[in-house]
Chain A
């Protein structure tokens, strides 16, 4: 399969820099796959799982926020957070999930609190599902 150069960077550092054959990421308008020879394109990322096929191996990650850009065949993924399935702290996600649920069901939470908790809940859910489905 033809490959293309892929770079993944987050504020925490350069996560991936090499050749990949296929990536699938969750953009704000749904899942989007990129193969070699893709047209120049820009898409904001939503919250969801990302699949990177590199050297014949599929790797999964929780990928939240940021953007995907394809410029002259070079693919750059600039998410706010990006965690490989085996690097996710499942216990932490579990705790965050419970805390967020408590905040949502609590009576003293303001609308703002509930919105924040919902965002946290969503992130925790993605981490949990990625970690439990694809951990080896």
Chain B
């Protein structure tokens, strides 16, 4: 009996060790990808921040609401851009952002532009109308793609296909903290009261044309920024998840080795007792 259980324990230790090797390797890959993604986030953040604060100031000081990007429409047709990852095994990264987006979509006439395989699968299986499935691989989307997405969105928005555009992504706060966030992109809503009072803005050539040209740029920039944040968050989440998996494997191996040694010792003791008793 003791012999069978030592063999079983041995097998379990061996399988645990191979799992640990995999999680360890994944952690290392995620760590090196994280370093690159983190550098990209830090580089793109000033752009993201300055772009959004500039647009906010312009909108807050704006008096001419003839541009379609500034008019609030009464309908509740909304388009969500949802950014998730391509692969699982990243802790709660995918499920957190998808759950948040899903809760937001509830009760609205929504369509989704998913970026990343997990987002595409999630919304497809829930039969949500998808605007396009072109962006299956979140890792391959570059600045150019972000601007094509923004062109597509602004064209559909101007054509009146939806009344609101929102984005759901994961904010990379630090290596240990990533928070899923949603944000409204269109229409542009003036934030707070106008502080500068009577300041007028000169639009060159005129307000409608300026907004027509700037808003797609703004959208593209925001999507790119959100994508950079999400990518870094994904790698960070995966790294943390794989790190704790490796630790768990270590603990279990230690536990099992102890059991194995005890069982082996018990078997030896029993054998000795039998021999002594027989003599």
Q: Give the B-binding residues of A (Cβ under 8 A).
A: 7, 9-14, 27-29, 32, 39-44, 65-67, 69, 71-72, 76, 78, 80
Q: Give the A-binding residues of B (Cβ under 8 A).
A: 43-44, 46-47, 50-51, 54, 57-58, 61, 143, 147, 196, 199-205, 209-210, 213-214, 217, 220-221, 224-225
B46–A13 touching, CB < 8 Å: yes
CA distance A44 to B205 in the complex (A): 9
- Least CB distance, B142 to chain A, in whole angstroms: 10
Closest 5 CB pairs of A and B: A44-B213, A13-B43, A43-B204, A41-B202, A14-B46
B199 contact set on A, CB distance < 8 A: 40, 72
Residue contacts A-B, CB under 8 angstroms, 18 given: A7-B50, A11-B44, A12-B47, A27-B204, A28-B205, A28-B213, A29-B205, A40-B199, A42-B58, A42-B214, A44-B217, A67-B214, A69-B54, A69-B58, A71-B201, A78-B47, A78-B51, A80-B143
Q: Per DSSP, are chain A's interface residues mostly helix, strand or loop, or mixed?
A: strand
B217–A80 touching, CB < 8 Å: yes
Specify which of A11, A27, A43, A76 is in contact with B54 (CB 8 Å cutoff): A76
A13–B44 touching, CB < 8 Å: yes
- Least CB distance, A68 to chain B, in whole angstroms: 9
Specify which of B58, B147, B203 is in contact with A80 (CB 8 Å cutoff): B147
Specify which of B43, B47, B201, B220 is in contact with A41 (CB 8 Å cutoff): B201
CA distance A39 to B61 in the complex (A): 13
B202–A39 touching, CB < 8 Å: yes
Nearest residue (CB) in A for B44 is A11
CA distance A28 to B204 in the complex (A): 9
B58 contact set on A, CB distance < 8 A: 42, 69, 71
A40–B217 touching, CB < 8 Å: no
CA distance A76 to B221 in the complex (A): 15
A-B contacts at CB below 8 angstroms, number: 83
B47 contact set on A, CB distance < 8 A: 9-14, 78
- Least CB distance, A31 to chain B, in whole angstroms: 11
CA distance A40 to B47 in the complex (A): 20
Nearest residue (CB) in A for B225 is A11
A32 contact set on B, CB distance < 8 A: 204
B204–A40 touching, CB < 8 Å: no
B210–A43 touching, CB < 8 Å: yes
CA distance A120 to B57 in the complex (A): 33
- Least CB distance, A125 to chain B, in whole angstroms: 19
B143–A11 touching, CB < 8 Å: yes
A14 contact set on B, CB distance < 8 A: 43, 46-47
A78 contact set on B, CB distance < 8 A: 47, 50-51, 54, 217, 221
User: Are A41 and B204 also in contact (CB < 8 A) when A78-B51, A80-B217 are?
Assistant: yes
B43–A40 touching, CB < 8 Å: no
Nearest residue (CB) in B for A78 is B51
A11–B217 touching, CB < 8 Å: no
A11 contact set on B, CB distance < 8 A: 44, 47, 143, 221, 224-225
- Least CB distance, B47 to chain A, in whole angstroms: 4
